[in-house]
């Protein structure tokens, strides 16, 4: 940069001084009057002032901004993307260059932050998955060893051991399914097959399936469809089942009452149908409630010994938003949680 500065100063001086010096020299040769001498003296003074004014303009308008730009480039090369490049006081063509450079720095910083967040998310997911797979595997090994050692002597004990092994294997299968689906979300490759469905009939069928599982788990289950039978929505059947299963699964996981209760209720809401899935579990604090649909978020471990990948509700949010709806929740500690999501009603000619 020092050599550039010298060259610019030299160029300015040559462009301005040499022509003016030649002009003054020509006048001096052709005249010897006292007046001419005064004019020449004044001309030289003006020449010096103009030359240094031009030099100052070049320095403040070009060289100084370029030095700032060079320093900013050095900082980025060293990995520092925090220092902003200020182009407010620059009034030259260099300003646009500096503004473009600053925009590039901001984008590089955003990309770096996204990459760091993705790395943290991946590590957290790996930690969650490792923990949540280890727990059922350890349990399965323990029950299998009990069977092999003859601990389960009666048919009733054997049946209980086998059912427990089966349930733990199902937990692992659900976890792996969530992980597989998460990779599709990350790549925006969720396979959707949208079709017209009678919303009340669909939720009633889902409630029948869920109700059987809840009965086996000792949880009371209720369904209330306050929507006319002819109301249709556009939805992917399989993905909507995933939404319901994920929400209900969370309710079961965090149930802490002697008699757990879960209900699904449909409500008509103008152009939308609202689905409310309510439980009487431990509830969620006001501080944690806004974060439950964020990827990898899990409630305070002191109140959340159940584990989980932390992606179940984020999957729900993604699917519902892709259906043109939205999802939210309300909760009270010690009382329970209600997750609500909306689905747009079918409009003739939409599909």
Structure confidence at residue 126 (pLDDT):
73
The tens-digit pLDDT sequence of the chain (351 residues) is: 445 554 555 555 555 556 666 555 565 555 555 555 665 666 666 666 766 666 666 666 666 777 777 777 777 777 777 777 766 666 666 777 777 878 888 888 888 888 887 777 777 767 767 767 777 888 889 889 988 888 888 888 888 889 889 888 888 887 888 777 777 776 677 788 999 999 999 999 999 988 888 887 788 999 999 899 999 999 999 999 999 999 998 888 888 777 889 999 999 999 999 999 999 988 999 989 988 888 767 665 444 445 555 678 888 999 999 999 999 999 999 899 999 999 999 887 766
Give the 3-state secondary structure of residue 114.
helix
3-state secondary structure of 1: coil
Query: Whose CA is closest to 248, among 259, 260, 236?
Result: 260
pLDDT of 351: 60
**Up-side HSE of residue 175: CA atoms within 13 Å toward CB?**
23
| Long-range Cβ contacts of 320-329 (<8 Å, 24+ apart) | 320/243, 322/190, 322/192, 323/234, 323/235, 323/236, 323/239, 323/240, 324/234, 325/272, 327/293, 329/284, 329/289, 329/292, 329/293
Residue 253 corresponds to which tokens in the numbers above? 């996981």
Strand ranges for the chain from DSSP E: 195-198, 220-226, 232-235, 261-269, 272-279, 327-332, 336-344
Whether the pTM exceeds 0.75: the reply is no
The count of other CB atoms within 10 Å of the CB of residue 213 is 14
Q: Are 337 and 251 in contact (CB under 8 A)?
A: yes
Buried b (16+ CB within 10 A) or exposed e, 108-136: eeeeeeeeeeeeebeebbeebbeebbebb
- Determine the Cα angle at 337 with ends 332 and 341, to 5°: 130
Beta bridge pairs of residue 195: 235
Contact predicate 105/76, CB 8 Å: yes
Q: What is the pLDDT of residue 348?
A: 79
Contact 201, 231 (CB under 8 A): no
List C-alpha distances in Å: 112 to 105, 304, 347.
10, 32, 43
pLDDT at res. 302: 40
């Amino acid at each position: 940069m020092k050599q550039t500065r010298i060259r610019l100063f030299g160029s300015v001086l040559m462009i301005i001084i040499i022509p003016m010096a030649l002009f003054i020299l020509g006048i001096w040769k052709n005249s010897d009057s006292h007046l001419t001498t005064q004019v020449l003296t004044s001309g030289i003074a003006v020449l010096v002032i103009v030359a240094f004014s031009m030099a100052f303009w070049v320095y403040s308008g070009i060289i100084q901004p370029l030095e700032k730009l060079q320093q900013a480039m050095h900082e980025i090369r060293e990995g520092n993307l925090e220092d902003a490049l200020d182009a407010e006081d620059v009034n030259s063509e260099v300003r646009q260059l500096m503004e473009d450079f600053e925009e590039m720095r901001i984008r590089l910083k955003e990309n770096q932050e996204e990459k760091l967040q993705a790395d943290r998310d991946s590590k957290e997911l790996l930690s969650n998955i490792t923990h949540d797979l280890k727990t059922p595997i350890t349990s399965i090994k323990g029950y299998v060893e009990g069977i092999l050692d003859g601990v389960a002597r009666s048919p009733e004990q054997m049946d209980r051991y086998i059912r427990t092994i089966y349930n733990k294997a199902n937990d692992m299968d659900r976890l792996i399914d969530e992980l597989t689906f998460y990779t599709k979300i990350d790549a925006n490759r969720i396979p959707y097959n949208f079709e017209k469905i009678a919303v009340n009939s669909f939720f009633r069928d889902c409630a029948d399936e869920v109700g059987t599982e809840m009965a086996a788990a000792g949880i009371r289950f209720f369904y209330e469809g306050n929507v006319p039978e002819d109301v249709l929505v556009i939805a992917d059947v399989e993905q909507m089942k995933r939404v319901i299963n994920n929400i209900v699964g969370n309710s079961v996981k965090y149930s802490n009452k002697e008699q757990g209760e879960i209900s699904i209720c449909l409500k008509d809401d103008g152009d939308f149908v609202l689905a409310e899935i309510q439980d009487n579990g431990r509830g969620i604090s006001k501080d944690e409630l806004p974060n439950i649909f964020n990827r990898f978020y899990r409630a305070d471990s002191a109140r959340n010994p159940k584990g989980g990948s932390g992606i179940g509700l984020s999957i729900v949010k993604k699917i519902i938003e892709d259906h043109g709806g939205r999802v939210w929740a309300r909760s009270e500690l010690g009382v329970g949680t209600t997750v609500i999501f909306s689905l747009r009603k079918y409009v003739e000619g939409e599909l």
